[in-house]
Chain A
């Protein structure tokens, strides 16, 4: 039993199988809602309401011809999708879904795991940059440069915004933060600024519409992924989906009070809360047009970073009152 539980944790829930199923479901949800917001149909014909469309896309891409450019760094080029998907899956392991004990720390829930999680969620960005750089195409190179430029814009506000609830809870452990807010749900309200900032930053991290600059198709073709095809592209797409789930899971754990109630209720909590955040992400995607790279930087340093600092100040002042 002691061995079975971690195995279940790694392979079934919230591990590999759940991740694949749920991330493809989230992609379907995102696409369907996005389509409905635009008065379109969205995926329709694969499975009921087109629910299997992302899986079908994944399988189709797996079957496609896999091309590696002659001048590319072949090892890096091939390895990066695997590294990326490993990184985001590991991030998912650290979310306090089940199989943790608030009192004792365990390998999947320990003091400081919020920092580790944020760090691991930065890895995909580096993977994107390296992927772009190693494919040596003009469009990829520009895309890679944009990936890194954008990283300097959104990363600091995201860290500040996500860490301020942790300061309020007085812990660097996700399980404890979640438990703190489950205990005092009213204290979630002052974090609203941080929530907004972190959702916008997550959108930027996922490179979705107002921030889809690194792979803006009308400007630089496929951007980062110009040279990728077949299995590697499929893995990259899956990686973005998993990153979306992990990122929204992080925000749900920190800002929405985590996923209490054991396996079943926790599962329901997880699905509802992440879908809510994904809906918000989709709404942002439908509402805005792509902005320029310089506008991203000035936007995040002019508005997002000050707002995140303001959130930090509110938290610190409020903490004085609460204690």
Chain B
């Protein structure tokens, strides 16, 4: 038992800079592997729908715009996204068509503002890392 055991520690910090980061005015760097929000490289997507299948939050939709022209539309509902990056994991193309950026300030006034859309033509590249996965099954 010692009276005022904390005293030296707190007096030491009296004239030190606070540990708090003055957040909106001053920002911390996020690490390089930070899982931010997912985004699509439309030229790489082969529309295998592996991301749609594996997304735990059902946040990704791939809609068919025009079957004949092989035109598709991917919608990522960032309001539902739980930022687990499973879609990136599941993406079978060699440079990943889906990637995570470092954005974490994605608040918006309406959940519709959080919706992101890409309209693109299906890429012709064959999947490389797809051995064994049933990724090619979902072509419809």
Q: Does B10 contact A (CB under 8 A)?
A: yes
B68 CB to nearest A CB, Å:
59
In the complex, whether B14 has a CB less than 8 A from a CB of chain A is yes
A287 contacts which of B4, B16, B19 (Cβ < 8 Å)? Answer: B4
Residues of B within 8 A of A39 (CB): 13, 16, 18-20
The answer to whether A286 touches B20, judged by C-beta atoms less than 8 angstroms apart, is no
In this assembly, does B6 line the interface, its C-beta being within 8 Å of a C-beta of chain A? yes
- The chain B residue with its CB closest to the CB of A34 is B10
Counting residue pairs across A and B whose Cβ atoms lie within 8 Å, the total is 33
Q: Which residues of B contact A37 (CB under 8 A)?
A: 10-11, 13-14
- Tell yes or no: B22 within 8 A of A by CB: yes
Q: Are A38 and B10 in contact (CB under 8 A)?
A: yes
User: Would you call B10 and A286 a contact (CB within 8 A)?
Assistant: yes
Would you give the 0/1 interface string for A45-77, flagging 1 where the beta carbon is closer than 8 Å to chain B?
Answer: 000000000000000000000000000000000
Taking a contact as CB atoms under 8 Å apart, the answer to whether B22 and A36 are in contact is: no
Least CB distance from A37 to B in Å reads 4
Q: Are A36 and B4 in contact (CB under 8 A)?
A: no
B interface size (C-beta, 8 A): 13
- Using CB atoms, name the residue of chain B closest to A33: B14
A41 contacts B by Cβ under 8 Å: yes
Cα-based distance from A188 to B132 in the complex (angstroms) = 88
Is A40 engaged at the interface, CB distance under 8 Å to the other chain?
yes
Chain B 3-41, CB-CB to A under 8 Å as 1, else 0, gives: 010110011011110111010000000000000000000
B14 close to A40 (CB less than 8 A)? no
B22: which of A35, A41, A287 is its contact (CB, 8 Å)?
Answer: A41
B interface majority secondary structure: loop
A44 on interface, CB distance cutoff 8 Å? yes
Q: A36-B13, A37-B13, A39-B13 are in contact. Are A287 and B7 (CB under 8 A)?
A: yes
Bound Cα distance A41, B10 (Å) = 14
Whether A36 lies near B14 (C-beta < 8 A) is yes
Please name all residues of chain A whose beta carbon is closer than 8 Å to the beta carbon of B4 when the two chains form the complex: 287
The reply to whether B22 and A40 form a contact with Cβ atoms under 8 Å apart is no
Q: Contacts of A41 on B, CB cut-off 8 Å?
A: 18, 20, 22
Instruction: State the CA gap A286–B7 with chains docked (Å).
Output: 9
Check if A40 sits within 8 Å of B18, measured CB to CB.
yes
Chain A neighbourhood of B16, CB < 8 A: 39
- Using CB atoms, name the residue of chain A closest to B11: A37
B6 engages A36 (CB within 8 Å) = no
What 0/1 pattern do residues 68 to 103 of B give for CB contact below 8 A with A?
000000000000000000000000000000000000
Check if B18 sits within 8 Å of A36, measured CB to CB. Answer: yes
A38–B22 alpha-carbon span in the complex (Å): 16
Q: How far is the CA of A322 from the CA of B4 in the complex (A)?
A: 35
Distance between Cα atoms of A248 and B136 in the complex (Å): 79
Could you list which residues of chain A lie within 8 angstroms of chain B, going by C-beta atoms? 33, 35-42, 44, 283, 286-287
Q: Nearest 5 CB-CB pairs, A to B?
A: A37-B10, A41-B18, A39-B13, A41-B20, A39-B19
**Beyond A40-B18, A287-B6: 8 further Cβ-contacts under 8 Å?**
A36-B14, A36-B15, A36-B18, A37-B13, A38-B10, A38-B13, A283-B7, A283-B10
Query: What are 19 sample pairs from A and B whose C-beta atoms fall under 8 A apart?
Result: A35-B18, A36-B14, A36-B15, A36-B18, A37-B10, A37-B11, A37-B13, A37-B14, A38-B13, A39-B13, A39-B16, A40-B18, A41-B18, A41-B20, A42-B18, A283-B7, A283-B10, A286-B6, A287-B10
